[in-house]
Structure formats: structure tokens, C-alpha cells
Structure 1
């Protein structure tokens, strides 16, 4: 009986210490970001991310507000799922779906484009 109790206790201890929340979840989207690279493809698949020359910033708040000068035409966002956000324009009633990934301290946003385009930010 003592051996069974020990095994169960050891298993539960291992289970609870080994379980860790996924830190790559949507909560990591919130925060302050600095634009580092942009992607523009001419339509032939040759597009590459290139470093930006001037500093631009983005703040994604838990309340759904977008501020900063990196995306000046946008005002709000709503998380659709783990890879998409719906963004709202400041000046029109139009909304768009952006794809996003957060990996470590890097946020990649892919707005709707005819050809490949994207924005890479680092958390600051």
C-alpha cells in the first residue's frame, strides 16, 4: 500500500511540475512592438524581409485597441483564433483579417495582400 501511495504521489508530482502553459498563446500578442522588417513580393516569389530604416511602433492592448505609428490607419482588433485577428479601420467601417504568429519576442503580421506581404516586430 505504501509503495502504491508513493508511486501515485510521485506521478502526480511529476505531472504537475511537467505541465506548463503554452507561452505562445494569444495573450502574447498583447504588448509593445517595434517594427523591424517588412516583406513585399513583386509577384514572382522573390520577396524577402528587409530591415526598416526608421523606427515605428505598435501597441496591442488587451482591450482591443491598436495604437502607434506602425499601422496608423487601424484603431481596434479582435482575436479570431490562434492565427488570425480581425482589424478595424479608423476612417471606414471596413474590417480585414490579418494572420499573425508570435514566436518568442517576434510578432509577424500578414495583412491581406494580392502578393506576399508582411511585417515583423520585436517586443520592447
Structure 2
């Protein structure tokens, strides 16, 4: 009986201490600055390259986002503000009015520590990386 009690206590401790989320990941809500771009020329040799940019995307608690540039392309230009919605359940960002790309595209994202990586709809891998501000 003591062994069974001990095993049950161990199981409870493990279950209570396990957490499916990574506590080292930053919260999505807030400001994120564009820091790197990745575009692969087609041979798997693509890598993230640093950029100096003022491009900021801000995630709001109501499920919407604003950006001080055109989120629909991978450029770091801040001349055309954009808006849209996001889902932390589906890990997607859906910008409004993407004129030069696929309309209503859901851009997949991941958070890795204080970095947000967004995947763009390209034949070859193309991604952008933001850092939490």
C-alpha cells in the first residue's frame, strides 16, 4: 500500500509540475520589432539576415494587430500601415487588404523565446523574425 501511495504522489507531482507551454516564450501581446529576414534561393542555403528597421507590429488583447508598414510583404518599409487579426490558438496572423499577395492568407507564426518568426507564402522558405520590445 505504501508503494502504491508513493507512486500516486509521484504521478501527481509530475502532472502538476508539467506545463505544455514554454514559460521562456514571450507573450504575444505588445510590440515586436523586425530584426531579420530569410529568403531561400531554392537550394536550402537560405539564412536569416539582420536588418536595420523601424517596422513594428503591435498585437492587441482584442485579437487584432497594427503595423506601421505593409505586413503583406517581406519588405521592412514603414510607409503603408496595415491591420488585421491573429489567433494564438491557430498560431496565425491574417492581415486585412493584401493587395499584392494572396488575399486573406493566414501567415503561420511561432514564438521562440523573445523572437516571433512569421512564415510567408513562398515556394521557397521565406520568413521574418521580430524581437519583443
- TM-score, with normalisation over the residues of structure 2? 0.66
Q: Which residue of 2 aligns with 1:87?
A: 94
**Whose radius of gyration is greater, 1 or 2?**
1
Where do residues 27-106 of structure 1 align in structure 2 (5 Å cutoff)? 28-70=27-69, 71=71, 72=80, 74-79=82-87, 81-82=89-90, 84-90=91-97, 94-106=103-115
Gaps of 5+ in 1: none
Higher helix share: 1
Q: Which residue of 1 aligns with 2:118?
A: 109
Gaps of 5+ in 2: 72-79
Higher strand share: 1
Q: What number of residue pairs does the alignment pair up?
A: 119
Query: How many angstroms does 1:31 deviate by?
Result: 1.8
Over the aligned positions, Cα root-mean-square deviation in angstroms equals: 3.2
